[in-house]
Homo-oligomer: A and B are copies of this chain.
Amino acid sequence: MISQGVRLLIIGGSDAGISAALRARELEPRSEVTVVVADGYPNFSICGLPFYLSGETPDWHSLAHRTTDEIIDQGIALRLNTFARAIDPERQVVGVVDQAGVSADLPYDRLIIGTGAEPAPPAIPGADLPGVFRLHTMDDSFALNAWMTQRQPASAVIVGAGYIGVEMADALTHRGVAVTLIQRGSGVLTTIEPELGQIVETELRRHGVSVVTNAAISAISQNDEQLAAITVGGERMAGDLILLATGVRPVTALATSAGVQLGETGAIRVNRAMETNLPDVYAAGDCVETWHSLLECPVYLPLGTTSHKQGRVAGENAVGGHRQFMGTFGTQVVKVFELAIARTGLLTAEARANGYDPLTIAVSAWDHKAYYPGAQRLDMRVTGDRVSGRLLGAQIVGHWRAEVAKRIDVFATALANRMSVDALSDLDLSYTPPLSSPWDPVQMTAQAWVSAWRAEQKK
């Protein structure tokens, strides 16, 4: 490490910012690391908000990956409830203002921008009415929880059936609220292919969620206490509260006003070392573009796992390291009621749009030998390239206790090593009848793919 007593300033106290701070301190104990945190909740697990709101995680304090004291014990200075107003890259200072309105200029040798993302609610009339919520910060979740505790709503309308939408449909159902889930497109969870999305939709309905698809929202209206989401077609979905879960966008204004360039996706452009175009200024997490290892181009794909990795790389490089962010394969998993839904790599359409010639095969397999009690069906899809035989992606939907997530991780590890689909059969995977089969379902799916591929070639 070259840097002796480097002053590292980090804007943002969520996954990327704290990962960067910890990594810098781990590698360079002489570094002076300060993290500017907009609220009072550094290093909180935003992915855990649905479980706080469902009641499964009763104490919000436990959502912290680390306590404030644990962070400080690592030699990291925290400036909580402090807002970064301006970056001056010439003077290498960041102007901040705290809760009391006191301003300060914080000098830096290296700066890491981790300003994250913010909800992107639809720009429609009524989106700011009382009883209309977003869910992105601890304060958002406190506001929603307080409303629910006070009003005891009987019904809710959730707009958007992405991860937050389906998780909150589960969470509010768990709390006894009747949920209507509205999706603009033709199915829920567009991160997986429609055939698997159907299984998730069935699971939602099985637990009493009313799923409405092909319904874009044009307005929100209020009638006494009841709210209603109004679709473009004029239909009204009424509920005691409305949650807008229509995705997020990167928070970039602070960066751009200092001259930091954005990429085509609208997020901050960084190289694989997490450097921006400005000297000594890095960026990481939900505010940046992410290198996609299969597409070999930057994408905007804000995920907690990626934020941790990017923050760690930025923190290492900010104190003189030379680590590269190795890229994402878009690996994701979500639990909805009894199902886990996981994917890695590309969907068929994504692969086709990016110059591959994808073949996708669907296989249904038991998670373990059916003669041992409790076997569950796994609905699996694997995508490979017809030209090269290379693995391009996989999707699995199945019972959440059926090792769905770690099976996707076997595929993700294979993707990282550019394996062919056929080579999955050679993997020495573990087997005992309560947990798998002599050919794991990962391999059964791969073998079905190779058979179908060969059959095509014989035609």
A binding-site residues for B, Cβ under 8 Å: 15, 26, 45, 47-48, 51, 56-57, 59, 62-63, 65, 293, 303-309, 312, 326-335, 340, 342, 344, 369-373, 400-401, 403, 405-410, 412-417, 419, 423, 425-436, 438-440, 442, 451
Whether the Cβ atoms of B328 and A428 lie closer than 8 Å is yes
- Assembled-state Cα–Cα distance A381/B83 (Å): 43
A408's nearest neighbour on chain B, judged by CB, is B430
Which of A62, A304, A414, A426: most chain B CB closer than 10 A?
Answer: A426
- The listed residue (B47, B340, B416) touching A433 by CB distance below 8 A is B47
Q: How many copies does the complex hold?
A: 2
Whether the Cβ atoms of A47 and B405 lie closer than 8 Å is no
Whether the Cβ atoms of B335 and A434 lie closer than 8 Å is yes
- Assembled-state Cα–Cα distance A48/B342 (Å): 29
Which of A305, A419, A440: most chain B CB closer than 10 A?
Answer: A305
Query: Shortest 5 CB-CB distances between A and B: which pairs?
Result: A406-B406, A333-B430, A417-B417, A326-B426, A62-B371
Whether the Cβ atoms of B304 and A438 lie closer than 8 Å is yes
Q: Are A412 and B427 also in contact (CB < 8 A) when A406-B407, A419-B417 are?
A: yes
CB distance from A142 to the nearest CB of B (A): 16
- Assembled-state Cα–Cα distance A231/B419 (Å): 51
- Assembled-state Cα–Cα distance A128/B306 (Å): 61
What are the residues of chain B within 8 A of A372 when measuring CB–CB? 48, 51, 56-57
- The listed residue (B26, B48, B407, B416) touching A428 by CB distance below 8 A is B416
19 contacts between A and B (CB under 8 A): A15-B438, A48-B369, A48-B372, A51-B372, A57-B373, A303-B431, A305-B431, A333-B431, A334-B432, A335-B432, A340-B435, A342-B430, A344-B428, A344-B430, A403-B406, A405-B432, A406-B409, A412-B430, A413-B414
Whether the Cβ atoms of A409 and B432 lie closer than 8 Å is no
CB distance from A47 to the nearest CB of B (A): 5
Whether the Cβ atoms of A430 and B413 lie closer than 8 Å is no
Q: Are A335 and B435 also in contact (CB < 8 A) when A309-B425, A451-B26 are?
A: yes
Whether the Cβ atoms of B331 and A430 lie closer than 8 Å is yes
Whether the Cβ atoms of A440 and B409 lie closer than 8 Å is yes
- Assembled-state Cα–Cα distance A435/B336 (Å): 12
What are the residues of chain B within 8 A of A327 when measuring CB–CB? 428
Whether the Cβ atoms of B429 and A412 lie closer than 8 Å is yes
Q: Are A56 and B373 also in contact (CB < 8 A) when A340-B435, A410-B406, A429-B331 are?
A: yes
Whether the Cβ atoms of A427 and B405 lie closer than 8 Å is no
Which of A56, A59, A442: most chain B CB closer than 10 A?
Answer: A56
- Assembled-state Cα–Cα distance A442/B406 (Å): 10
What are the residues of chain B within 8 A of A419 when measuring CB–CB? 417
CB distance from A300 to the nearest CB of B (A): 16
- The listed residue (B48, B332, B400, B416) touching A426 by CB distance below 8 A is B416
- The listed residue (B371, B430, B436) touching A57 by CB distance below 8 A is B371
A436's nearest neighbour on chain B, judged by CB, is B405
Q: Are A329 and B428 also in contact (CB < 8 A) when A26-B451, A403-B403, A410-B409 are?
A: yes
- Assembled-state Cα–Cα distance A436/B342 (Å): 13
Whether the Cβ atoms of A309 and B426 lie closer than 8 Å is yes
CB distance from A417 to the nearest CB of B (A): 4
A417's nearest neighbour on chain B, judged by CB, is B417
CB distance from A392 to the nearest CB of B (A): 14
What are the residues of chain B within 8 A of A303 when measuring CB–CB? 431
Q: Are A51 and B433 also in contact (CB < 8 A) when A416-B426, A451-B26 are?
A: yes
What are the residues of chain B within 8 A of A62 when measuring CB–CB? 370-371
- Assembled-state Cα–Cα distance A303/B371 (Å): 19
- Assembled-state Cα–Cα distance A100/B408 (Å): 51
CB distance from A315 to the nearest CB of B (A): 13
CB distance from A232 to the nearest CB of B (A): 32
What are the residues of chain B within 8 A of A305 when measuring CB–CB? 428-431, 438-439
